[in-house]
Amino acid sequence: MQREAVESSALFAVGYSRRLHALEIEFRDGLIYRYLEVPASTHRALMSAESK
Protein backbone atom coordinates (compact mmCIF):
# COMPACT_ATOMS: atom_id res chain seq x y z
CA MET A 1 0.00 0.00 0.00
CA GLN A 2 1.37 3.40 -0.93
CA ARG A 3 1.34 6.01 1.83
CA GLU A 4 1.12 9.77 1.30
CA ALA A 5 3.15 12.16 3.46
CA VAL A 6 1.07 14.42 5.71
CA GLU A 7 1.79 17.60 7.64
CA SER A 8 1.54 16.57 11.26
CA SER A 9 3.60 16.66 14.43
CA ALA A 10 2.82 12.98 15.15
CA LEU A 11 2.03 11.38 11.78
CA PHE A 12 4.45 10.93 8.90
CA ALA A 13 2.26 9.32 6.23
CA VAL A 14 -1.17 7.79 5.63
CA GLY A 15 -2.22 5.13 3.14
CA TYR A 16 -5.50 3.48 2.20
CA SER A 17 -6.40 0.37 0.22
CA ARG A 18 -9.91 0.39 -1.24
CA ARG A 19 -9.59 -3.29 -2.08
CA LEU A 20 -8.71 -4.27 1.49
CA HIS A 21 -10.60 -1.44 3.22
CA ALA A 22 -7.38 -0.94 5.19
CA LEU A 23 -5.95 2.30 6.59
CA GLU A 24 -2.23 2.51 7.36
CA ILE A 25 -0.80 5.25 9.53
CA GLU A 26 2.96 5.74 9.77
CA PHE A 27 4.06 7.71 12.80
CA ARG A 28 7.14 9.92 12.99
CA ASP A 29 8.79 7.43 15.36
CA GLY A 30 8.62 4.76 12.62
CA LEU A 31 5.70 2.71 13.95
CA ILE A 32 3.10 1.69 11.37
CA TYR A 33 -0.45 0.81 12.38
CA ARG A 34 -2.87 -0.92 10.03
CA TYR A 35 -6.60 -0.70 10.67
CA LEU A 36 -8.94 -3.07 8.84
CA GLU A 37 -12.56 -2.63 7.75
CA VAL A 38 -12.18 1.16 7.48
CA PRO A 39 -14.64 2.90 5.14
CA ALA A 40 -13.18 5.10 2.39
CA SER A 41 -15.12 8.02 3.89
CA THR A 42 -13.02 7.76 7.07
CA HIS A 43 -9.80 7.99 5.05
CA ARG A 44 -11.13 11.00 3.13
CA ALA A 45 -12.15 12.72 6.38
CA LEU A 46 -8.71 12.13 7.90
CA MET A 47 -6.89 13.45 4.85
CA SER A 48 -9.07 16.58 4.67
CA ALA A 49 -8.83 17.36 8.40
CA GLU A 50 -6.89 20.51 9.28
CA SER A 51 -5.26 18.83 12.27
CA LYS A 52 -3.92 15.31 11.88
Residue 43, phi then psi, degrees to nearest 5: -60, -45
- For residues 39 and 41, give the distance between their C-alpha atoms in angstroms, rounded to a whole number: 5
Confidence of residue 51 (pLDDT cuts 50, 70, 90): confident
Mind listing the pLDDT tens digit for each residue in 3-45? 999 999 999 999 999 999 999 999 999 999 999 999 999 999 9
This prediction has a pTM of: 0.90
CB atoms within 10 A of CB 22: 16
Confidence of residue 52 (pLDDT cuts 50, 70, 90): confident
Q: Which domain holds residue 8?
A: 3-48
Provide the domain count of the chain. 1
Residue 38: its pLDDT value, please? 99
